[in-house]
Structures are given as C-alpha cells and as structure tokens.
Chain A
Amino acid sequence: MENNEIVLKLENVSKSYGDKTVLKNIDLSIKKGTIMGLVGKNGSGKTTMIKGLLGLLKLDSGKASLFDQNSWDLPSEVKQKLGYVPQAINMFDGWMTVEGIIEYVSVFYDHWNSKKVDKLLNDWHIDPKSRFRNLSEGEKQKVAIILAMGHEPELYIFDEPVASLDPVARRSFIKELIDLNLDSGSTMLFSTHITSDLERIAADVALLKDNEIHYVGDLAELKEKFGENMNLEDIFVELNK
C-alpha cells in the first residue's frame, strides 16, 4: 500500500432527517497514515457523517467508501481493518465482566493482540474481573477504546472518544494514538470538542459548519490563516460567530 492511498472517502454526501438537513454535499478523503480531526458544533452532523461513512446509516445521496469498498456493503475483510469507538457506550452487560466482553469480541477477529489489551487495561487501571455495569462512564469509554484497539486495525474512527475521560487518561490515550500512528502508520479520524487534544495529534483538520465542510486541510495552514496567536479553539469560535 502506498502512502498516498485514500482509505476513506465521502463524495457529495447529503443526509436529511425529515425537513432538517444534517449533511449537505460533503466531500472528504483521508490518505493512509493521516490523523484527521473533525470539529463542529453540537448538531453539526459529525456523528451522522461518521455513521454514514461506516455504513451504519443510509445516506440520501452521494457515496461513502472505506478502502475502496462501498460503506453500505462493507465486507468483513474491511471490518477486520477497522476500529470504531462510538460516542455512546450502550452495552447490554448483565453480569458480564470486562475480560468476558474482551474475550467475546476477540474471537471475531483474525488477529488479536492480548498483550497490548492487558497492558492498556493495566495502564488505565481497569480491573478485568470487574463487572462492566459497575464501571464509571469514563472507564466504560476506556473499555470501548481498548476493544477498538485489540485487533490493531489500519483505520481508527473515533466519535468523541475522550468526552468522558479524565485528563490523565486523555493524555495516555493520545500518546497511544501517536505511538500507533508512528509505529504502524494507522489512519485516524478523530471527532472531538476538545480542540487542544486535536492540536496535540492531528495534522489535518475538517471543520463542519452549517452542515457543510467549511475547511479541510493542514492544521498549521489554518492557523497561519488566522494568525499565529490563535489556537484551534479560538479559530473554531471565530468561525462560528
């Protein structure tokens, strides 16, 4: 695979819920090895875009593809290369322990790095024997992230993964992402409200405004446009005034 290979592509994508337009003619593509941040206000369509991209939602028009395969009909080979952390963790847990859930998920993948999973559980202070339902929201989020990382996918899609994490866990998570990107050249699409996190890891950024992509490109270039003193949060606020 060459480095300029496009792993994720949205072409003229639109989606409405009844009369309300959520996505309007979205075009976006991400090359292999890129970390792209997705920023937008609440209700700007970030989650809808990600769900459309992953084939979890039918799009009204346009085309979404991952690894050159139509997202609506993703073959299992593509899913093997995909790690997804959803915004909401809604797991029917019953009496399930964390290690039980991990064991269950692991059998569906051709490759599973148990050592890495154990290390992450240890680093993030999650007892594998603890029941999932007894975990806090932040700990549940960590388990979701670990589940997405266990099979060491080529493409990670995170929908606000750090929203419930404490600053220590957030830093550790971001470090993990940077290491992953450096070691294996994984591609990442990262949606968040915490713009400071994006500044730490993302090289590229896509700004969603009024249901359209307002800017997509290099984060440094965007900063240059607005002046060196402004950080991404200032730019985001400025754009949404």
Chain B
Amino acid sequence: MKSFLQMYKYIFRSTPKVTISFLIMIVSTTIYKIFFLKHGGLYSLESITIANIIFRIVFTLFIIGSYGMFFGLMRGVITTSNFLLIPKIRKKALSFTFVNLLGIYTCGILISSFDDPRSVLFFTMLNLWFLSFCMSLYFIDITSVYRSNKYLILKIFFFLFSIAGPLVVVKDPFKRPVLFITIVSIFLIVVFYQIINFLNHYIRLDLNDDKTKHKLAKNLDSFNDFIADLTTGSYTSTVHQIKHIKLEKRYFKLFNITLMGPIGIYPWLAIGALSSTAYIHFIREWSLNTFL
C-alpha cells in the first residue's frame, strides 16, 4: 500500500501538470455522465451533441493518456539503472499498473454504455489492443513481447493492423461469421501470448541485448536516431530563424515552437482536422450499425 502511494506521488511529482489535466478530464467526464447523461452511456447516444463529442474526445484522451502514464512508470522502473535492483519494484509496478488500468476499464464501462453488451465487448477489445500496443511501443527497445526474433514481419504486421480486432466487433458479426471469428480469435490469442511473455520478461528482467539485436530492430534504432537528429536540426534552424526576425514576431514563433515543436502549428491542425473527421464518421457509423 505504501509503495502504491509512493508510485502515485512519483507519477504526480514527475509530471504534475499532465496528472492534474487527467484528473480534471476524468472528474469532468464523470460529472457530465452523472448529471447530464442520466440514461445511457457516453458512447451510446442516439443523438450526438457537440458536448457529447467533446466529452467523448476528452474521455478517449484520458484513457490513452492513462495508459501512457502507467506504462511510462513501468518503463522507468526498468530503464533507470538505479532502480534495477530495488526489491520487488517490478512486481509492484506491474500490480500498480494492473490495478489502475482495471480501475480505468471499470470506470470506462460505467461511463460508456455498460447496458449494451456489444459496446462492452468493443471497449474490452479496445483495452486489450491498448495493452498490446503499449507493451510493444514502450518496450520495443528493452524487452520483447515474443519469445524469439523470428517472423518479425508478421509481428510488425500485427502491431500495425491489430486495431482490426476491436473494430470488427462493432460490425455485425453474423454477416461474415468466419471472418469475424478468425480475426477476433487471432487477436485474442496473440494479445494473451504477448501479455504472458511480457510479464515473464519484465519480472525476470530478461532484457534485449543491444549487441545481439535483430538486424531489423537495429535498423529501426538507426531510423529513430535519424528522426531524432532531424528534429534536433529542425529545432536549431528554427531557433536560428527566430533570432533574425523582428522582435514582435518572435512571440508567435516561440509560442509555435514551444507548443507544437519545430514543424509548427499547421501540420498539427491538418492532423487534428483529419482525425476529427474520421472520428465523427466512425461515431455515426457505429451509432447507426450498433444502436439503431
């Protein structure tokens, strides 16, 4: 219990603003659900209002952010050289993450539509996908979610396209039952296989050896380094530009680089517009297919 409390403190002290933002997100969504959505869940409305879309986005961001935060803590335990030999730290970090993610899952079920079995199933599958995605993403350079380096192309394929697992649940399973059962079974088998391997490797500290890494993994590392160099170069050049423009125009540039990075605000606006369109389209399709 004491260590759990310290882990909460550690997360809060490491990233205070982010933690406060997440707390505001979950509290506001809960208030919205309790006082404004008395019947039905956040994702099961027949009529979609602006407030509803905003809270869907807020709650989705909260779930994604929480996964990131707890997986970040687990990664920190294994990447911080001073923490490696602390007794039971990895087991406690795992159980802490499990308890919190279970809490978020339960909260998610209550806030979304717990009265609709298919949306519960979708939300469960989505959480499993988050788990699989975060395990692969956060630990790609440290420890494997598989037992060997074989069939790397298939593993990358699964990493990129496993989102199909939760998405097919939304569609009518009786239209193409064989395809539905195949995709869902493969998804569940691989995700549970990943979870078991990951737990085993994480607790035993069975880490990837940098010098015996698979060639493709090394190439991915080089690609990462290349992107990092590119970003650094881009920052340097933007800072150089800022030095040579008029003082009054510097504020916007500085604001831009601080918030949006060296690529500026416009690409992010484009990404935001595209994903919002896709999201709204998805909600409509989902609502029509599932709830009407």
Output the nearest chain B residue to A84 by Cβ-Cβ distance. Answer: B85
| A237 lies within 8 A of chain B by Cβ | no
| B49 lies within 8 A of chain A by Cβ | no
* Contact, CB under 8 Å: B87 / A90: no
With a CB–CB cut-off of 8 A, which chain B residues contact A80? Answer: 87
Counting residue pairs across A and B whose Cβ atoms lie within 8 Å, the total is 90
Q: Which of A35-43, A94-102, A185-193 contacts B (4 or more CB under 8 A)?
A: A94-102
* Contact, CB under 8 Å: A109 / B82: no
* Contact, CB under 8 Å: B3 / A107: yes
* Contact, CB under 8 Å: A108 / B88: yes
| B2 lies within 8 A of chain A by Cβ | yes
Q: What is the number of residues of chain A that contact chain B, defined by CB distance less than 8 Å?
A: 40
| A54 lies within 8 A of chain B by Cβ | yes
With a CB–CB cut-off of 8 A, which chain A residues contact B7? Answer: 104
* Contact, CB under 8 Å: B3 / A95: no
Q: How far is the CA of A84 from the CA of B205 in the complex (A)?
A: 16
Interface residues on B, range: 20 to 34
* Contact, CB under 8 Å: B86 / A144: no
Interface digits, B66-82 against A, CB 8 Å rule (1 contact, 0 not)? Answer: 00000010011001111
B86 in complex: contacting residue of A86, A91, A95, A108, CB < 8 Å: A108
With a CB–CB cut-off of 8 A, which chain A residues contact B83? Answer: 91, 105
Within 8 A of B (CB), among A167-188: none
Q: How far is the CA of A80 from the CA of B86 in the complex (A)?
A: 8
With a CB–CB cut-off of 8 A, which chain B residues contact A221? Answer: none
Q: A interface vs B, CB < 8 Å?
A: 17-18, 20, 54-58, 72-74, 76-77, 79-80, 82, 84-97, 100, 103-105, 107-109, 144, 147-148
Q: B interface vs A, CB < 8 Å?
A: 2-3, 6-7, 9-10, 13-16, 72, 75-76, 79-89, 92, 204-207, 209, 211-212
